């Protein structure tokens, strides 16, 4: 089916937009922009929660009509979407995104499934942002039901799909065949040349950091980000780094709190940075990690450190990839490990010793930083650039539209299934 069919029907996306700092918000924002570049004639509409009433986007109309505190919000959203007569409906799902107020996650999942049931007549694409390698029974049941109700389900990493296949096989369940993999997009237009860095430091009021090398801890500050394992280690290796390189290195910690529940962790982490600041080993910069400033703060760093207990930093990692900045992050840890293995642009640590070793290597080996940066540049250009990912989204919309109009279900090959078939075809006849 050509994409030009139904030219007056908009692409509809159900998501949250800022002021909500959820990672899915950033994904949707960039997607709107690059889909518009790819299909400028197609209108885009964001159907969002009511707390996004002030949100604006140059490439999409924002309709903030979802009152998450109202039990009947799914039926209201369905009515709004039906009135739009959409070409397709792209729904972002992330844990917590639809559990406004005191609504428990189990209730939020039921309401989300009610939304899908109400949209059964339309081509629906569910992008699942919270899929871990090992699923709880309740999570598996939710994903199964969601996949049955939607036209296409999108996962972010290949490992999620084949681990999902394994989970289903262990439970003697049929794996849904409408599951596609579209990676986390990264912007191709946010690279800063070395000659621009001093001007950015001036712009951000960080002129005192000129001439200094920076190991960066950047992002929203909360308990699961574990900045403390770096601040506790930094005094042990700071002098060694400076002695080996002949350069002045600082631990550059930058970010802010985005959830009052993490106030105690925020205060603790910042206090440790301030202690290092007083002895000339660190610098703290408080800012909201959003928008273009986020990229500029990351650009100041010679490399980044992403210690975390879960996979909540995919948004930060996509920005690091956009900037071609080498990094070290936790392993084994879901999407962070998967993207690091695929790109070969970062180092992985598993304990205090491997973290120490990775930081030392990145700080003392400029050629290593350059090689990793080149790997990230190639990974960006070949796989995760929004120029590529936006086209994959649009193709998913087109396939979903065709499936709904023709009555033909979507059937994507399972991970490794295509390779197994090719191997069988190459095998000599007995």
Are the C-beta atoms of 99 and 105 separated by less than 8 Å? yes
Residue 103 and residue 145 in one domain: yes
Residue 107 and residue 154 in one domain: yes
Structure tokens at 123: 């081509």
Give 419's pLDDT tier (boundaries 50, 70, 90). very low
Which of 16-30, 242-256, 306-320 has the largest mean confidence? 242-256
Q: What is the pLDDT of residue 304?
A: 96
Q: How far apart are CA 367 and CA 82, in angstroms?
A: 56
Residue 264 and residue 290 in one domain: yes
Tens digits of per-residue pLDDT, 51-70? 888 888 999 999 999 998 89
Residue 214 and residue 131 in one domain: no
Residue 213 and residue 148 in one domain: no
> Is residue 72 assigned to a domain?
yes
Tens digits of per-residue pLDDT, 69-107? 899 999 999 999 999 999 999 999 887 778 766 788 889
Structure tokens at 250: 């600082």
Beta bridge partners of 13: 46, 90
> Residue 388: which H helix or E strand, with range?
helix 386-406
Residue 171 and residue 232 in one domain: no
Residue 203 and residue 324 in one domain: yes
Q: What is the pLDDT of residue 317?
A: 86
Q: How far apart are CA 221 and CA 426, in angstroms?
A: 53
Sign of CA dihedral 291, 392, 111, 80: positive
Q: Which domain holds residue 20?
A: 11-185+390-406
Tens digits of per-residue pLDDT, 164-174? 777 777 666 77
- Specify the 3-state DSSP secondary structure of 120: coil
> Is residue 411 assigned to a domain?
no
Q: What is the DSSP letter of 57?
A: B
Average pLDDT, the chain: 88
Q: How far apart are CA 136 and CA 122, in angstroms?
A: 30
Residue 255 and residue 175 in one domain: no
Asked if the model's pLDDT at residue 280 lies above 90, the reply is: yes
Q: Which of 33-47, 165-179, 219-233, 374-388 has the lowest mean pLDDT?
A: 165-179
Beta bridge partners of 60: 57
> Is residue 416 assigned to a domain?
no
Are the C-beta atoms of 43 and 10 separated by less than 8 Å? yes
Is the pTM higher than 0.85?
yes
Q: How far apart are CA 9 and CA 192, in angstroms?
A: 38
Residue 54 and residue 157 in one domain: yes
Q: For residue 69, what is the domain's CATH number?
A: 3.40.50.2000
Residue 219 and residue 162 in one domain: no
Strand-strand pairing, 179-181 and 61-66: unpaired
Mean pLDDT over 29-47 rounds to 95
Give the residue among 112, 96, 114 at the shortest CA–CA distance from 104.
96
Which residues are within 8 A (CB) of 336 and not within 5 positions of it... i.e. 6 or more apart?
306, 308, 311, 313, 314, 317, 329, 330
> Is residue 415 assigned to a domain?
no
Q: Please tell me the total count of domains within the chain.
A: 2
With both helix axes pointing from N to C terminus, report the angle between 137-149 and 105-118 in degrees, rounded to the nearest 10.
10
Tens digits of per-residue pLDDT, 231-272? 999 998 999 999 999 999 999 999 998 888 889 989 999 999
Q: What is the DSSP letter of 285?
A: E
Residue 377 and residue 232 in one domain: yes
Give the residue among 68, 28, 76 at the shortest CA–CA distance from 50.
68
Sign of CA dihedral 236, 241, 244, 247: negative
Q: Which of 10-24, 192-206, 365-379, 381-395 has the lowest mean pLDDT?
A: 10-24
> Is residue 414 assigned to a domain?
no
> Is residue 255 assigned to a domain?
yes
């Amino acid at each position: 089916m050509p994409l030009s069919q139904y030219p007056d029907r908009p692409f509809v996306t159900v998501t949250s937009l800022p002021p909500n700092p959820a990672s899915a918000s950033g994904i949707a924002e960039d997607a709107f922009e690059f889909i518009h570049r790819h299909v400028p004639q197609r209108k885009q509409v964001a159907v969002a929660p009511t707390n996004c009433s002030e949100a604006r986007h140059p490439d999409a109309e924002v309709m903030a009509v979802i009152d998450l505190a109202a039990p009947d919000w799914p039926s209201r959203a369905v009515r709004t979407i039906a009135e739009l007569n959409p070409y397709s409906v792209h729904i972002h799902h992330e844990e917590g995104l639809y559990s406004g107020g005191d609504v428990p996650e189990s209730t939020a999942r039921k309401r989300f499934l009610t939304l899908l049931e109400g949209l059964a007549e339309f081509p629906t694409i569910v992008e699942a942002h919270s899929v871990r390698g090992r699923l709880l029974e309740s999570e598996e049941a939710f994903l199964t039901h969601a996949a049955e109700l939607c036209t296409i389900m999108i996962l972010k990493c290949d490992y999620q799909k084949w681990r999902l296949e394994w989970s289903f096989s262990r439970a003697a369940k049929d794996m849904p065949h409408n599951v596609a993999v579209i990676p986390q997009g990264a912007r191709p237009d946010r690279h800063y040349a070395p000659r621009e860095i001093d001007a950015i430091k001036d712009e951000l009021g960080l002129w005192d950091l000129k001439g200094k090398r920076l190991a960066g801890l950047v992002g929203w500050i909360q308990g699961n980000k574990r900045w403390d394992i770096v601040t506790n280690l930094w005094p042990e290796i700071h002098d060694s780094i400076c002695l080996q390189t002949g350069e002045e290195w600082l631990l550059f910690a930058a970010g802010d709190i985005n959830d009052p529940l993490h106030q105690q962790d925020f205060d603790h982490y910042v206090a440790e940075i301030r202690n290092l600041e007083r002895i000339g080993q660190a610098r703290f910069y408080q800012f909201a990690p959003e928008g273009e400033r986020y990229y500029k703060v990351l650009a100041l760093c010679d490399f980044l450190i992403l210690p975390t207990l879960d996979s909540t930093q995919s948004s930060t990692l996509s920005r690091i990839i956009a900037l071609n900045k080498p990094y070290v992050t936790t392993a084994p840890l879901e999407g962070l490990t998967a993207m690091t293995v695929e790109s070969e642009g970062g180092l992985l640590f598993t304990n205090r010793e491997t973290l120490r070793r990775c930081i030392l290597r990145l700080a003392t080996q400029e050629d290593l930083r350059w090689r990793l940066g080149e790997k990230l540049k190639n990974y960006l250009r070949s796989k995760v650039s929004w120029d590529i990912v936006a086209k994959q989204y649009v193709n998913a919309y087109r396939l979903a539209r065709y499936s709904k109009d023709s009555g033909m279900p979507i059937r994507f090959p399972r991970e490794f299934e295509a390779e197994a078939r090719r191997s069988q075809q190459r095998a000599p006849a007995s």
